[in-house]
Homo-oligomer: A and B are copies of this chain.
Amino acid sequence: MPDLSVTLSGIKLDNPVIPASGTFGYGAEFKDFYDINILGSFSFKGTTKEPRFGNPTPRVAECVSGMINSVGLQNPGIDAVINEELPRIATYFKKPVIANIGGFSVDEFVYCAERLSVSEQVGIIEVNISCPNLHKGGVNFGSDPKAAAEVTAAVRKATNKPIYLKLSPNVESITEIAKACEDAGADGISLINTLLGMRIDIKTRKPVIANKMGGFSGRAIFPVALRMVYEVSKAVKIPIIGMGGVASAENVIEMMMAGASAVQVGAENLRNPYACKEIIEALPRVMAELKIDRLRDIVGVA
C-alpha cells in the first residue's frame, strides 16, 4: 500500500494535493463535480478585511499553456467568510482548510489572521504577501525582505495557527525573502504566486486585460516554480508548499523532489475541474512505477 500522507506543521494530510487559493473558491463549485474530502486540504480564496469586487473585466487572458488573471482579490470580506463561508464549508468538507488572507497593510493581515484563528476548521493560515502595499509607497510586501519580515512577525503574534507566507516570484532573490520570513517566525513558505504577464489583442490593439497586466500561471510556469522551490528549500528549514503549473501526478512528485512537503494545484482546476481528483488517483500508480513507497520520503531528494 503506497503511503501518500504528508505532514505540514503537525497537521497530517492524507495526500499532498491541495487546490490553490483563488482557483477553488470555497470548494462549493467543486463538490458538485466530486467529493472534495479526497483532497489533502484546500486553500480558499484570498480573504481581506472588507468585501472587494476586485478589478474591472476582462480579468482573464489565455496564453500558450497558461493564463493571466487580474481578479484583484474579489472576496466577500472576512465577516462573510467567517459567518457564511466557513459554516457552509463545514457541511461538505471535513478536514482542516488553509485560510488564505490578503491585505494592503500589516494591520489588515493581523486583523484577518486574528479573526480566522478562532475557527477550528482552519488548519493553516496562508499569508499572501504578493499584493501591492499601498501604505509603503508601492513596494510589495512580497518583494522586500524587511516588509515581508514585518508582516510575518506581526501575524506571528496574532495567531497560534501555523502561518505560511506566500511569496511572489517577481523578485530577484526569492531565497532572501523566504529567509526573512523564516527568521521572523513563519512556520512554512508557500510559493509561487503568479508571474507578472501581459497579452495584447492584436485586433483591438489594446491589452486583453482591463488592468493591462495580470498574474500569469498554469503549466507554462512550472520550470520557474520548481527552480524557486528548489532554491528556497536549500535556504530554509521550514516546510514548503510548492505550486506553479502543477498539472499531473508526475509534476507533484517533481515538486516534492525539489523540496516541497505538499503541493498546490491552481489554474489547472479551472480548465479541468477534476484535475486534483485525477492527480490523486494517478499518484499510487506513478509511485509504484518509480518505486516510491512513502511520498514523504522524496521531499527534497534532488
Q: Which of A's residues lie within 8 Å of B, judged by CB?
A: 61, 63-66, 68, 143, 170-172, 195-200, 202-203, 205-207, 212-213, 216, 219-224, 226-227, 230, 245, 250, 253-254, 257-258, 290, 298, 301-302
Contacts and interface: CB of A to CB of B under 8 A. Distances in A.
Number of copies: 2
Contacts of A61: 223
Contact of A198 (B207, B230, B250): B230
A257 B223 contact: no
A259 to B, nearest CB: 10
Contacts of A195: 223-224
A220 B66 CA distance: 8
A47 to B, nearest CB: 26
Given A198-B226, A227-B198, A298-B205, A219 B64 contact: yes
A268 to B, nearest CB: 11
Given A202-B257, A302-B207, A197 B220 contact: no
Contact of A220 (B65, B171, B196): B65
Nearest to A65: B65
Given A64-B219, A65-B220, A224-B195, A302 B200 contact: yes
A68 B202 contact: no
Given A170-B172, A202-B257, A290-B203, A197 B219 contact: no
A226 B202 contact: no
B302 A206 contact: yes
